[in-house]
Structure 1
């Protein structure tokens, strides 16, 4: 899982200030600080934007998620007769 230290490292590596990241994500700097300290969790939409701004390839992550979903869907073919109303 991506934690606050990871978010900070990505941001610093991309040479983006907390203030600049806040503007990009349309939030305040305090929110960025809270994400990086682990005080609050980043929302998925903001996480993907964070990855985009830090030039992190999210394609491999999305591909892995799709593979997992496909595996689960192929194993779980619900029998509607067995389900309770």
Structure 2
């Protein structure tokens, strides 16, 4: 869904340095670098803060997630054992 390249693009587009983002997220710069390189996965709380600081509308993402949830709640969950590898 959202990878390190996306995080970096959002940050750069917002004009925020890695150091400034680290201060906003209350972590060190190496953590931000690891998120952007895909070495570490960003936690959901920090991801939504990242969106906030980069002025990204998370509402549309949340609406999409809700639609997917609503679709799957109306259907039987797939049996993963029946799937072919």
TM-score category, normalised to shorter length: 0.7 to 0.9
Cα-Cα RMSD:
1.3
| Corresponding pairs, count | 77
Give the corresponding residue for 1:61: 61
Give the corresponding residue for 2:25: 25
Larger Rg: 1
Instruction: Determine helix, strand or coil for the equivalent of 2:47.
Output: helix
Give the corresponding residue for 2:2: 2
Q: State TM-score, norm by structure 2.
A: 0.84
Q: State TM-score, norm by structure 1.
A: 0.84
Structure 1 stretches of 4+ with a deviation exceeding 3 A read none
Any unmatched runs of 5+ in structure 1? 77-85
